[in-house]
Structure formats: C-alpha cells, structure tokens
Amino acid sequence: MNEYIYKNWKELEKEYQNLKNQFNNTWNKNHIDAKIAELRDLEQIINQPDFWDNPEEAKKISQKKSSLEKNLKPWIDLKNAIEDFPTLIELIKEEYNNEDKALEELSKELNQLIQKLEDIQISLALLGEDDNKNAILTIVSGAGGTESQDWAEMLLRMYTRWLQKKGYEFEIIDYQPGEEAGIKSATILVKGENAFGYLKCENGVHRLVRQSPFNANNKRHTSFASVHVSPEIDDDIDIEINENDLRIDTYRASGAGGQHVNKTDSAVRILHIPTGIVVQCQNERSQHKNKATALKLLKSKLYELEKQKKQQEIEAKSGEKRDVSWGNQIRSYVFHPYKMVKDLRTGYETSDIESVMDGEIDEFIKSYLKEIATVKT
C-alpha cells in the first residue's frame, strides 16, 4: 500500500473512523470474541493437573491452542492500536508545534494500521478447519498433448520452487512423464504450517499463451493444466469407501525413483468409480505401501469433494453465486505477444512472468486470501 499523507485533521479523522468501523464490523462478523473465549477454555484445560495423562490428546489440544494464539494475536494487537489512536493523536499534537509535521507523522501511523487490517484479512482466511493441515497438490495436463504436458511440468517447477523458498517439506509421491516432454500428471505431498490454507488458492485451471517451442514456425499456442489441492486428512476422520467402488491397477513406476523403477509392478492406481476420481502412487518400493498411500489420497479428495458439496448447498440457500469448483480457469499466463500473469478471480496481475515461474506467487496467494476474507465478512 502506498503511503498517503492526509491533507487536514478532518480527512484523517474520517479515515480513522472508517478504519475503526470496518475493523469492528469484521471482528464481530467473524466471531473473534468467541474464538478468544475458545482459547481461554483451552488454557483452562491445559492448566488442569491431569492434562498430560493422555499425551496424544494433550498434544492435539496444545497444538490447537498455539495455532489459535498465533492467528488471534494480530487481531488483538490491532484492536488495541486502533482504540489507542485518539490518544496518539493528542500526544503527537503536543510533540509537534508544526501542524503539517504532526499530520505527516499521524498519517504514517494510520497507514500502518490500514496495512495491518489488510494483512489480518489473510490470517482470517486461514482460520478454516483444514487450513493448518498438510496439503496434497495434483497437477494434470490438459488436452493438447506435448504442449500441455510441458506446461504442466513448468507449473510443477513453479510450485516446487515456491515450496523451497517458503521452507515447506514436500515429497513427489506420483510422477507420470509425458511421451515426448513434460508430464501427464504429478502429485506432491506438502507438509508444514497452513500448507493447505495457502495452496487452496491454487485450485483451478491455469492457462498458458506462448509461442510454441514444439512448432518449427513458433506459432502461438494456448495450453491448459489443472491444479487440485486437498487437505491431508487425519486418521481419526472417518471416510467410508466401499471396496466394490474401486478399480485398482498396478503398473511399473516411471521417472526418477531409484533402482526398483521399471523393474516391478509396485506403482498403484485407484479409480473411485462413483466419482471418477483417480489417484496413484509410485514413490515406495512396496506395492502395499503405495496402495496405502493411494487410499489416503483418495480419502482426502473425497473429503474435500464432500466439503465443496456442502459449501455449494449453503451458497445456493443464501443466494450466493460464487463458484467453488476447482475446475474453473483461475489464472492466465501470457508469454507472447506480451508478458502478463493475471489472476482472473481477483484481478491481480504482474508483467514479471520470469519471477512468477520461478516460484514468486505470494502476491497471487495473498490477493486471493484477502478476497476470501472480503466475501466471508
């Protein structure tokens, strides 16, 4: 946000009142008082003398408390700063005899509060029940053969670069190379704080426009690849799967993976017939372990699908028309005839396409998280 110097006291006070009203409205509509009360209840539980009698349950409660504290701290700090701002006005007026200088200093302080409210919208968008979970990210090339498969591999590199820069632990658990170049699909398990909360912003179809490197005449070509992100579900979440609804195939693993690759049918592919969801895993030597991982992937995707259905039902009843489907085009990457990456949901765009493809996607994620918070509030 660009720094703005208010022209007079009336303008500054009006902007302060707008900020205060917006913050209070956001605070109330998102039940922050209830979340603070929940935190206090957890603190009381933790202070009980028998709290550690069940170490596994105690660990979960402690983690929940820490997560709540971290997410709520910016809200509480900003609330205090906004309430203290009138006092700050009087103090700075007394400190500076020059009215213009006092206005300049207070403008800086108010701009910082406005920026903190924008930042807090991001934390608000990460308070979902699954946002703190690990994430399963799958990239699938669209129709178009080699062009789309090459584009899918470019996206895979973009995400792995982002994960490396953010310090996330990740593992490519399935990798299906293309016939000539690129990949047909790849699945990454991402471990770390709010992995799903951030990566859920990437759900959808990603469109590339460029001069084709696979065409002798360098003709312009449009390629598509889809990205699907689901939370890695906890073992205590019950997702029923009927064995009769599954078609399980084994095949020889491909791509990088060690000496066992292409020597045994250790890789596993599972089709969930009722939904058409396909999951596959090849990163283990053991077919049994790959099947177990693939079933966990399937449970995560079924869990996310059920969440989406419930959300659509809520929005249908409330009259909202916001589409939560992951299959819709969300971002356009244009390499030619100009350079531009634009998020079609938020309008955020940049011409620095090289940085984006090197994993600099934070601003796209932040803009979408703020959009979610705005819709929510």
If pLDDT is split at 50, 70 and 90, which confidence band does 21 have?
A: very high
Query: Which one, of 156, 196, 199, lies nearest residue 176 by Cα?
Result: 156
User: Quick check: helix, strand or coil at residue 265?
Assistant: coil
* Residues in a beta bridge with 270: 248, 279
96 shares its domain with 16: yes
Q: What is the pLDDT of residues 163-211, one digit of tens each?
A: 999 999 999 999 999 988 999 999 999 999 999 999 999 999 999 999 9
Domain count, the chain: 2
Q: What is the pLDDT of residues 260-308, one digit of tens each?
A: 344 567 899 999 999 999 999 998 888 999 999 999 999 999 988 888 8
314: burial class by Cβ within 10 Å (0-12, 13-18, 19+)?
A: exposed
Query: Which one, of 368, 338, 365, lies nearest residue 352 by Cα?
Result: 338
CATH value at residue 298: 3.30.70.1660
| Host domain of residue 70 | 9-124
Q: Is the pTM of this model over 0.85?
A: no
25 shares its domain with 146: no
Is residue 1, in this structure, part of any structural domain at all? no
Q: Which of 116-120, 156-160, 245-249, 373-377 has the highest mean pLDDT?
A: 156-160
Query: Alpha-carbon distance 131 to 200, whole Å?
Result: 8
Pairing verdict, β 329-334 and 277-281? unpaired
Is residue 130, in this structure, part of any structural domain at all? no
Is residue 4, in this structure, part of any structural domain at all? no
More confident site: 144 or 180: 180
Q: Taking the CB of residue 30, how many other CB atoms lie within 10 A of it?
A: 16
C-alpha distances out from residue 2 to 58, 208, 350, Å: 45, 31, 17
53 shares its domain with 74: yes
Instruction: Give the pair of three-digit tokens for residue 149.
Output: 């498969």
Rounded to 5 degrees, what angle do the CA atoms 166, 3, 19 make?
90
